[in-house]
Amino acid sequence: MSERFDLCVIGGGSGGLSVAAGAAQMGAKVALIERGRMGGDCLNTGCVPSKALIAAAIRAQTLRDSDGFGIASVSPDINFERVYAHIHSVIAAIAPHDSVERFTGLGVRVFQAEAQFIRPDLLIAGDVLIRARRFVISTGSRPSIPPIPGLDRSGTLTNESIFELRERPDHLIIVGGGPIGVELAQAFRRLGSAVTLVERLKILPRDEPEAVTIVREALRKEGVELFENAEVSSVARSAGKVEVAIRTDSGAPQLSGTHILVAAGRVPDLESLNLSAAGIEHGSTGIKVDARLRTSNKKVFAIGDVCGGPQFTHIAGYQAGIVIRNALFSLPAKVNYDALPWVTYTDPELAHVGLTEAQARAEGYSVSVLMEPLRANDRALAERATDGLAKIVVVLGSGRILGATLVAPHAGELIGLWGLAISQRLKLSAIAGMIAPYPTFSEISKRVAGQHFTPTLYSDRMRCVVRTIQRLLP
């Protein structure tokens, strides 16, 4: 069989689904090819199950931390089988939105098969040859497994398997201190597991160090054992235990646990596509694309993790809009990551948008840094959640906003204001002058923005001006 389409999307994860749904509803004839589960990593093994697990962990921790409010703390009775059921009920509730049935209803022709290019304008999916005016590759990524001796024989867990656990790990050893590793370390600790985390560098290396310090202390306070600047030299399993040998600056301790989770990054999933037949340049970091997300084959676009850029669901969704404008309307839309946000869903949450201080200085900016501690926020005091801060990086003098970091409860909800400010080039005066409801965590943004104007407002010159005006007034 042979079929022809306006647009062929390869990969039914968040980015591919966004392109397919948008293009079909705009009138294009669309094919969608997915060899696995619709919804991809985000729905099935990533964002959705991890946040459902974290939500359960928060409930457990709330029971432990109520003494300060005059309510007796209790040790939670955790039924991990029911935690598993909660996670998978959330996945099931969202799955219909990403289902074959929904997309077929939108007019998308869905092929549940593996795609492989034969020529630059032709691929095969199952037993069907597909031609299209434009193709979009959105096959995502998979966990990276480091070449550690014995790791492949240790029953290693990744994000693709850990949410299938029906019994709580007695002692979970996590290799990797990025967002996934740190989030799951805190969540499993709160659900009653002993947790040890090993990171080759420092945890959360992309984030502002002041913010990471707060998250690090929160993990340690709750009993997560951290080894930073540590290398895993070997892994072995015997008698139901996982033995992990590590090297640190202070020695070579031997760790013993019941389960091991590898959260050491991700690699693009593109081996089966036969990209060379399509004339598509690619490497170990993914498919090479230009600012319009076109590959070296100008009829083929690539979005999401497979490009090797920022690996976030919301970036794949953003890129989907760029591709639709290019592929359907031939508009020269280009990506702009100046206001790229990300959130690490620990407690407190760590949210960032734009440039960090180090990135801004590396790009040649002369910067001013505004800092506001969360302990000065009345809502934080009322909720006994004062460990946090706001850090804003601005251009020295002009106050142009380059980046923002928030560590606070619901920081992921609060960071959107700063993303809007950066993308729309709003001035700090817009945020300092807004009316923030009281008492809310959002007041921290208004207060930190106001710091930019404090030296001028309360200077000797201003006092002189005010006194002069007062003498002139009737």
Residue closest to 206 by CA, chosen among 315, 344, 392: 344
**Lookup: tokens for 363:** 């790009």
Rg (CA), the chain: 25
> pLDDT class for 320, splitting at 50, 70, 90?
very high
Span 376-398, average pLDDT: 97
**412 or 240, which is more confident:** 412
Q: How far apart are the first and last CA of the chain?
A: 91
CA 25 to chain centre: 28
DSSP string covering 237-292:
EETTEEEEEEEBTTB--EEEESEEEE-S-EEE--GGG-GGGGT--EETTEE---TT
pLDDT in tens, 36-79: 999 999 999 999 999 999 999 999 999 999 999 999 999 999 99
> pLDDT class for 240, splitting at 50, 70, 90?
confident
pLDDT at 162: 97
CB burial of 160-192 (b: ≥16 within 10 Å; e: otherwise) equals eebbebeebbebbbbbbbbbbbbbbbbbbbbbb
Sketch out the chain's domains with CATH numbers: 2-38+99-143+267-329 (3.50.50.60), 151-265 (3.50.50.60), 341-457 (3.30.390.30)
pLDDT in tens, 274-319: 999 999 999 989 999 999 999 999 999 999 999 988 889 999 999 9
pLDDT at 427: 92
pLDDT in tens, 195-205: 999 999 999 99
Is the predicted pLDDT of residue 20 greater than 90, yes or no? yes
**474 or 217, which is more confident:** 217
Span 114-122, average pLDDT: 96
> pLDDT class for 31, splitting at 50, 70, 90?
very high
pLDDT in tens, 255-270: 999 999 999 999 999 9
The one-letter amino acid at 182: V
Q: Cα(403)–Cα(352) distance, rounded to whole angstroms? A: 7
pLDDT at 82: 98
pLDDT in tens, 420-473: 999 999 999 999 999 999 999 999 999 999 999 999 889 999 999 999 999 999
Give the position of tokens 């007695």.
Answer: 170
> pLDDT class for 173, splitting at 50, 70, 90?
very high
Q: Cα(287)–Cα(265) distance, rounded to whole angstroms? A: 17
What's the mean per-residue pLDDT of the chain? 96
Is the predicted pLDDT of residue 474 greater than 90, yes or no? no
Residue closest to 6 by CA, chosen among 14, 18, 17, 19: 19
Span 164-169, average pLDDT: 97
Is the predicted pLDDT of residue 1 greater than 90, yes or no? no
Q: Cα(154)–Cα(137) distance, rounded to whole angstroms? A: 34
The three-point CA angle 134-131-323 to 5° equals 15
**Lookup: tokens for 97:** 């939105």
pLDDT at 104: 98
Please state, in angstroms and as integers, the Cα–Cα distance from residue 128 to each residue in 23, 42, 108, 114, 132, following that order.
Answer: 21, 28, 16, 11, 13
Is the predicted pLDDT of residue 239 greater than 90, yes or no? no
